[in-house]
Amino acid sequence: TFHSNKAAVYFTSKRYDECIASCREAVEVGKANRAPFEERAKALTRCAKAYQKKGDLEMAIECCREAQLESFDKATERMMKNMELEKKKMDAAAYLDDGLAEEAKQRGNEHFRNKEWADAVKEYEEAVKRAPNNAPIRNNLAAALCKIMDFNGAKTHIDKAIEIDPKYVKAWARKGDIEVICKENHKALESYKKGLELDPTNAACKDGLRKVTAMINYGASTMTEEEKMDRARKGMADPEIQSILQDPVIQQILKDFNENPQAANQAMMNPAVRAKIEKLIASGVVQTA
């Protein structure tokens, strides 16, 4: 108790090194005299707090772990989790370096040119760690991930690239390409169009839009009924498609196509309505003759 009280005074006085020494002494004396586990844990927890004040999170976390071995405490557990999260953020921030990111990117580019896909992914991932807010690097990583068939990973990084820079046309083109591979033609159609809104001359988006439009318009005619149903199921799994189908206005228009074509054609003159119907057709949920 004497050493623990000294440690408490040192902590309050911001004399953290002396606090740590007193906490350690309190634990050793406590062990020698078979003091309650809870008391030894409290000393170690105060030691952790002192290390945290000094900015040494590694030692702070270690003291928390020691305290939990002496006597488990929910408050100490929460404090340790927060410290671990803080340390993770600090480590990531310390790792940032635009120059080293560019070097890793160039190594990745070299591997990509040589069709060494796994090595390209490794270098691009290193570049992302060094510069997580660099959209072109994430775009390159998405391309490399596609080569090793990791389409979910590619989607994640290309979406992040667009979040970082919504005006990055190459990312919109890449997003469309990935969506075509994943048979999400309705999404690809939108991605290419968004890219062309930013740059009407972009060749990748123009070519992608032409191809996906052809797939939508003519692909259905060559599909078996089973393939059409599979395509429609995938479309129905999209929350955006579900939302469109729940729109009462869209429901009425779909009904009008069969019962009142003139009213349906009139409604299609509204650009917003037309875009939604086209998305339903592109997804395969609505099929045309």
Output the six-digit token pair for 16: 């953290």
Number of other residues whose CB lies within 10 A of the CB of residue 239: 7
Q: Which residues contact 34 (CB under 8 A, 6 or more apart)?
A: none
**CA proximity to 76, closest of 54, 116, 47:** 47
Q: How far apart are CA 262 and CA 193, in angstroms?
A: 28
Task: With a cut of 70, say whether residue 159 has pLDDT above it.
Answer: yes
- Residues 132-142 have a mean pLDDT of 97
Q: Are 212 and 185 in contact (CB under 8 A)?
A: yes
Output the six-digit token pair for 279: 């998305």
Q: How many residues does the structure list for the chain?
A: 289
Stated as kind and residue range, the H or E segment containing 99 is helix 98-113
Q: What is the pLDDT of residue 63?
A: 97
Q: How far apart are CA 63 and CA 282, in angstroms?
A: 58
Task: With a cut of 60, say whether residue 201 has pLDDT above it.
Answer: yes
Number of other residues whose CB lies within 10 A of the CB of residue 211: 16
Q: What is the pLDDT of residue 220?
A: 63
Mean pLDDT, the chain, as a whole number?
Answer: 92
Look up residue 117 and give its amino acid: W
Number of other residues whose CB lies within 10 A of the CB of residue 14: 9
Q: What is the pLDDT of residue 88?
A: 92
Number of other residues whose CB lies within 10 A of the CB of residue 36: 11
Q: Which of 103-107, 109-113, 250-254, 281-285 has the lowest mean pLDDT?
A: 281-285
Q: C-alpha angle 108/109/113, rounded to 5°?
A: 120
- Residues 228-240 have a mean pLDDT of 82
Q: Which residues contact 196 (CB under 8 A, 6 or more apart)?
A: 202, 205, 206, 209
**CA proximity to 206, closest of 184, 222, 191:** 191
Calculate what percentage of the chain has a pLDDT beyond 90: 72
Tokens 């911001």, residue located = 14
